[in-house]
Every structure is written in structure tokens, then in C-alpha cells.
Amino acid sequence: MFLIIINLSEPLKILNIVDYIFSDYEKAINDSSEYKEMLEFAKNLIELSDSSILTYSKNVYELIKNKENSKKVKSELSKIREIILNNPKLDIYPKNPISLKSGREVYLYNCAVCHGDKGDGNGPAGKTLNPKPTNFLERYDLSPLRIWTILNVGLVNMPSFNNLSDDEKWNVAFYVLSLKYQNTQKKKVNNKFDLKLISKLSDENLKEMGYKNDEIAYIRTNIENLIEKKDHFYEILGSLDLIKNLYQKEEYEKAYSLSVDLYFNDFEPIEKNLFAKDFEFTSKLEQKFTQLRGIVKQKNKEKEVENLILNIKNDLEKARAILEGKAFSGNWALFNSFTIIFREGLEVAILFGIILSIVKLSENALAITISYLGIISAIFLGIITWIISQFIISISTLQREMLEGIVSLLAAIVLFQVSYWLISKSENKIWIGYIKEKLKSSLNKSNLFFIFSLSFLAGYREAFETVLFYQAMIINTPKTDLNYVIFGFLLGLITIIIISYG
């Protein structure tokens, strides 16, 4: 059997090789071409290995080279597999509930032509293939993860199925493992399974855990009802414990990397809804995540890290209660609406006030007009963003953070250049007088562009955030109370105007 490896990260390539050798080594010993291939893949395994698994990979190669028994080979492969799968960065498991019905539909459309409707490898197209398609009814060593990996990379006479979504691949993987149990006796199992764990377990693994054949049959055919219901909070709390453990082991870079992944992958998806329900609380919780990312990179801060993680955990319990509570009341919607526009608007007013006061030093009417034009353009684009906000919100949280970060970076660059141009020359009264005289005639298009850009960026970044927060608020507010959101917005806007011109 020839294994094709394409378009996968290093850990997935390693997993694919490990699973291949694990399942086919025993047969390959007695087949010269298969055995030669085994040695080649064992070499590839060493080349792909980092320090955490290199020793085990070398052991695998030596064992295969000496044609040792499969039990020894499988023991070393299992160690590699465990290390890879426990890597917090390798986030391979179904992200959505499993649907065997959907898996069956995808299987019949894409797989049955070779593997047969029953999974026995006797599909019409499969009869002419050599080697023959896998007979799933006889395979007890396959896990959903193994099948998912094959669907991504393919095998001999079998293409990859990258046209399928991840959800479809996982559904097919779980459905395939149910085929051999469609017409067998089943014994009900009351246990609930972690989706991450069950996606890595083969029937052989389940048997090793103490499950009987009729219980395994029930698990495979009723998996949808046996998965523990978990939410983002479960993932966050687990990741926080792992960060603490990594920090205690002085693996600071790993702890930091996981803290970044934790924020983007688990906290960000719930943040906008949490913002909509309690703006001030969420702002403080967000700051604690930022503080955590900073402190885990520092040495000898174990007590501070432990206390901060405990503090975040306590806040997460409050956050869960907030999100699980009822929809906004009218007064609560009004208060949060007011708070959002007041905070974001005040930031714009302060920064634009600083920009305008500096530009006014030039006494150049065109430069002042350009400043106003920049902020007005930002507001106008903010309105357009609101109109297309359903698309904006659908982009990934990481892309959204990158967009805000890019805008902030551009603002900083422009602020530096404008400040240098306008302020560095005002060392004394003579220079200020000189500037006033010269700026009237020497402002060029480049200078005006900087002024416009700074005013625009100062306004649009906050406008973009405001759109996100209000979209989340509207989702969580009953239609009958939307007038409170509007009233809170207008009240906050009027307050900002009064403060700005007061």
C-alpha cells in the first residue's frame, strides 16, 4: 500500500505515518516491496521528528530494520502518537456535533461506489481496483481520526477528499465505523464521551478500555447521543490549567503560545455577546487575558500566574452566568447601549481634539478642513460598515483582530510623522512664529494626506468596534426592546457632543 502525504502540517504527517505503520507493519514483514516501503516511511518519520519524539522514531526504525515483532513496534508508535495528540497546538477533533445521518449521505455519494453501500469493499468501481478498497467490516484498528486523515491525504487508488468540509469528513469517519454494527446485537451504554477523546479511539482501543462488543456496537451507532455537552468555557478552563502546568515546568514559550490560542480560539467567539450584555465587566476580563499573555513570558512569577488564572476562572463563571441569563431587559439594553457609544465616542473625541488643536497651530484653514473631512469620512465609512456588518462579523476572530491591529499601526505611523512635522519645529516662540508664517504657504499634498489619514484612522477604528458591539447587542435584545438600544445610543451621542463642545 502506498501512502501519499500532501498539504498537511508536520504533526499530521507524523500521525499519518504512525497510523500507517501501526496497521500494516505485521503484513509488510512478509512482503519485500511493502517492507521496503515501511523502512522508507520509518526514515521519513525520523526526518519529521522534533526532540520530543526523535528517540522513539529512531527506535521504530531500528525495530523495523531488524524485523522485530509488531508488539514492540506498536509500543514505540503508541508513545509517539500520545505525544503528538497531547500537543495543545494540534487541535484535531470535530468542532461541531456529529451527525451519522449526514455522514451516511456523504458516504453513499462519495465512497460507496468503491467501498460498497455496506462498507464491505465490494462497490461497483472497487471490483477492478488493486489493491481492493478497504473492507470496513473487518477493520477494528481504525479510529475516526485515522479515517479523517486518510480523507485529507488519500491512499493508493483513492483520492483525497478536500472538496468535503471538515464537518463532512468527521461525519463520514464516524459513520464508517458504525457500518459493521448496523445489524448486530447492542447493549446500552450510559457513559458520556469527550468528543476529543472518542475521535481518537478505535474499536480495539474501546475494547482495551473494558467495553464488550455489544457495547461498542451501541457506542458506534448512537455516538450522537453519547457526547458530553461542552461549551467554550469548558475549553477555556481546561486551557488555563494547561497554561499553569506549562509555566510550572518552565516551558514559558509554550505557555505563552497557548495563551494566545486560548484568547483567539475560545474567548473571542463569546466576547462580543458578552460585551453586549456587560460592557464594563467584559472589558476588565479582556484586560486580564492580556495581562496573562504578558506575565507567562516572564520567569519566576509562578504565584502571580496562579493568582491571575484563579481570578480569570472566577470571572469566567460570572461570564457564563451572564450569557446563560435571560435576554436584556429594556433598562439594561439602554444602559449598555449608552456605555458603548459613550466610551468609543469619548476616545474619538479626545484623540480628534488633540489632532485638531495641533493642526490649528498652523492657522491653515485648508488643513483644518482636511482634519474635519477625515473624521467625517470615518463616520461615513462606519455607517457603510454597519450596512455590511453581517459579512464583517462572519470573518474569523483572528482576521478581525488583525484588521484592528493594522489600523492601529497605521495610526501610530501617521501620528509620528504628523507630530514630527508639526511639533518638532515649535521649540520656542520664534520657531512658532516662523511655522505660522510658513505653513500658510508651504503645506503640500503629502502633509495634508497625513492629517486626513490620522483623523480618519482615529475615527474608523472605534467605529468598527462600535458596529461589532451593537450587532451583538441587537442579537441579544428582544425586538420589542430595540427602542431602548436606539435611545441609549442617542443619549450617549448627545452626551459626547455636549462634552466635546462644552
Q: What is the DSSP string of 352-403?
A: HHHHHHHHGGGT-HHHHHHHHHHHHHHHHHHHHHHHTHHHHHHS-HHHHHHH
Question: What value does the mean pLDDT take over residues 489-493?
Answer: 87
Q: For residue 58, give the nearest of 70, 46, 50, 47 by alpha carbon.
A: 46
* 137 and 190 assigned to the same domain: yes
Assigned domain for 92 exists: no
Binned at pLDDT 50, 70 and 90, residue 393 comes out as: very low
Q: Report how many helices (DSSP H) and strands (DSSP E) the chain contains, helices first.
A: 23, 0
* Average confidence (pLDDT) over 11-33: 79
Q: How many residues does the chain have?
A: 502
Cα 269–chain centre separation: 9
Under DSSP, the state recorded for 155 is: B
Least trusted range by pLDDT, from 36-40, 279-283, 432-436: 432-436
384: which 3 cell numbers? Answer: 457603510
Query: At 193, phi and psi to the nearest 5?
Result: -115, 145
User: Do residue 272 and residue 189 come from a single domain?
Assistant: no
Selected residue with higher pLDDT from 261 and 471: 261
Give 188's DSSP letter: -
pLDDT greater at residue 391 or residue 178: 178
Answer with the one of 324, 358, 375 that is the final residue of a domain. 324
Higher per-residue pLDDT: 364 or 133: 133
Would you say residue 68 has pLDDT above 80? yes
- What percent of the chain is predicted at pLDDT more than 70? 79
129 & 154 share domain:
yes
The least confident of 111-120, 389-398, 445-454 is 389-398
pLDDT tens digits for range 94-106: 877 889 999 999 9
Q: For 29-33, 88-92, 181-185, 316-320, which range has the lowest pLDDT when averaged over its residues?
A: 88-92
Task: Give the number of domains in the chain.
Answer: 4
Q: Is the dihedral of CA 380, 382, 383, 389 positive or negative?
A: positive
By residue range, what is the domain housing residue 397? Answer: 330-501
Residue pair 226/189 in contact by the 8 Å Cβ criterion: yes
Q: Do 276 and 476 touch, CB atoms closer than 8 A?
A: yes
- Shared domain check, 485 and 369: yes
Contact 121, 133 (CB under 8 A): yes
Q: Which of 435, 443, 423 has its CA nearest to residue 367?
A: 443
Is 218 found in the same domain as 258?
A: no
The answer on 432 and 284 residing in a single domain is no
Evaluate the omega torsion of the peptide bond into residue 131 and state whether it is cis, within 30 degrees of 0. yes
Query: Does the structure show a pLDDT above 90 at 112?
Result: yes
On whether both 434 and 394 belong to a single domain, the answer is yes
Domain membership flag for residue 135:
yes
- Across residues 145-155, what is the average pLDDT? 81
One domain for residues 440 and 457? yes
How many C-alpha atoms does 79 have within 13 Å on its Cβ side?
Answer: 15
Please report, rounded to a whole number, the percentage of residues in the chain having pLDDT higher than 90.
19
36 lies in the same domain as 138: no
Which of 200, 225, 250 is the C-terminal boundary of a domain?
A: 225
pLDDT at 391: 55
- More reliable by pLDDT, 115 or 237: 115
Residue 91 clears pLDDT 70, i.e. is over it = no
Question: 149 or 313: which carries more pLDDT confidence?
Answer: 313
In the structure, what pLDDT confidence band is assigned to residue 38 with cuts at 50, 70 and 90? confident
Residues 467 and 356 grouped into a single domain:
yes
Domain boundary among 206, 225, 244: 225
Higher pLDDT, 83 or 232: 83
Q: Does 491 share its domain with 383?
A: yes
In 3-state terms, what secondary structure has residue 3?
Answer: strand
Over range 174-180, report the average pLDDT. 96
Q: What is the pLDDT of residues 412-456, one digit of tens each?
A: 454 454 444 444 444 444 444 443 444 344 344 446 777 787 778
Tens-place pLDDT, residues 331-379: 777 887 888 888 888 888 887 777 777 777 767 787 788 888 888 888 8
For 191-231, write each residue's pLDDT tens digit: 888 888 899 889 998 998 899 999 999 999 999 988 877 66
What CATH number has the domain bearing residue 177? 1.10.760
Residue 155 exposure: Cα atoms within 13 Å on the Cβ side: 18
Q: Give me the pLDDT at residue 385, please.
A: 77
- So what's the pLDDT on residue 398? 44
Greater model confidence, 325 or 250? 250
